[in-house]
Amino acid sequence: MRMLINVAETVVADALRGMAAAHPELTVDVDNRVIVRRDAPVAGKVALVSGGGSGHEPLHGGFVGPGMLSAACPGEVFTSPVPDQMVRAAAAVDSGAGVLFVVKNYTGDVLNFDMAAELAEDEGIRIAKVLVDDDVAVTDSLFTAGRRGTGATLFVEKIAGAAADEGQPLERVEAVARQVDDNSRSFGVALSAVTTPAKGSPTFDLPDGELELGIGIHGEPGRERRPMMTSGEIADFAVNAILEDMNPRNPVLLLVNGMGATPLLELYGFNAEVHRVLAERGVAVARTLVGNYVTSLDMAGASVTLCQIDEELLRLWDAPVNTPGLRWGL
């Protein structure tokens, strides 16, 4: 196993210690596994809390800061955080205006955030929740019932985070988050399998010369396996799969996301092909984001996420953000 780690058992703790050293604008509780923006709670502001298994960085901890999340709860690699983490995070960031939980649709995350919401409400914290379920590849998977939550999580956290920073009430921030999720669809492709520190070898078998179409961010199987395709052929397949499920009448936000081991040289080339397909299908692109944002450790591959937007959602997307993983408009 060739990984830049000490031992598998301390991977998450070591990463959190390194994050704390690099980002003094965050409060990183290594022992309790909670990352909080240092100025929290912000008076009168709805707080956003999210989290999930580690291994998808910069999601979620890298999106903590002004304009996005108030706190994040990292679990072990590909393992949900526990309710105590979520309650501790909610208590740390609640100003009295309420807390929105942003939850990817994976069984462990859903169950633990549901339990955390009940516990937090028992402590007098108003909680709202939004479930992100944007993946069109499969209806059910190894980790969830229904569609998986993938790239649209970034759109939800950014746009709802901007609404919260403007001082919009909890009900409105929740409604904006739901609108973004309802308007978003994703599709992912793997060119190689993922290797977790605990296992030390690929978690599934993907022979040389083949790729998996429709994977999830934990390496879950997709729709089908095919011989290797060109960037243009993959873009055709991925975009068409998304547009079979949505018919954008407005311009879209586009995320071309790397799965962790795909160089930007390849991602930008793939982005050119995605834009080609969208233009051929008559879909206007308002904004494009390219890079490794919702990853799967060392998996090579990419995902495409589209979100149909209106003027208000675009305004919130363009609003300033200052986090380790996403920053503009400052």
Active site residue ranges = 56, 218
- How would you classify residue 78: left for phi > 0, otherwise alpha for psi between -120 and 50, otherwise beta? left
Distance CA 155, CA 188 (A): 16
SS (H, E, C) the chain: CCCCCCCHHHHHHHHHHHHHHHCCCEEEECCCCEEEECCCCCCCCCEEEEEEEECCCCCCHHHECCCCECEEEEEEECCCCCHHHHHHHHHHHCCCCCEEEEEECCHHHHHHHHHHHHHHHHCCCCEEEEEECCECCCCCCCCCCCCCCCCHHHHHHHHHHHHHHCCCCHHHHHHHHHHHHHCEEEEEEECCCCECCCCCCECCCCCCCEEEECCCCCCCCCCEEEECCCHHHHHHHHHHHHHCCCCCCCCEEEEEEECECCCHHHHHHHHHHHHHHHHHCCCCEEEEEEECCCCCCCECEEEEEEEECCHHHHHHHHCCEECCCCEECC
Which is nearest to 86 in space by CA: 102, 68, 106? 102
Sign, CA torsion 221/222/225/229: negative
- Please check whether residue 146 is in contact with residue 130, taking contact to mean a CB–CB distance below 8 angstroms: no
- Across-strand partners of 72? 35, 50
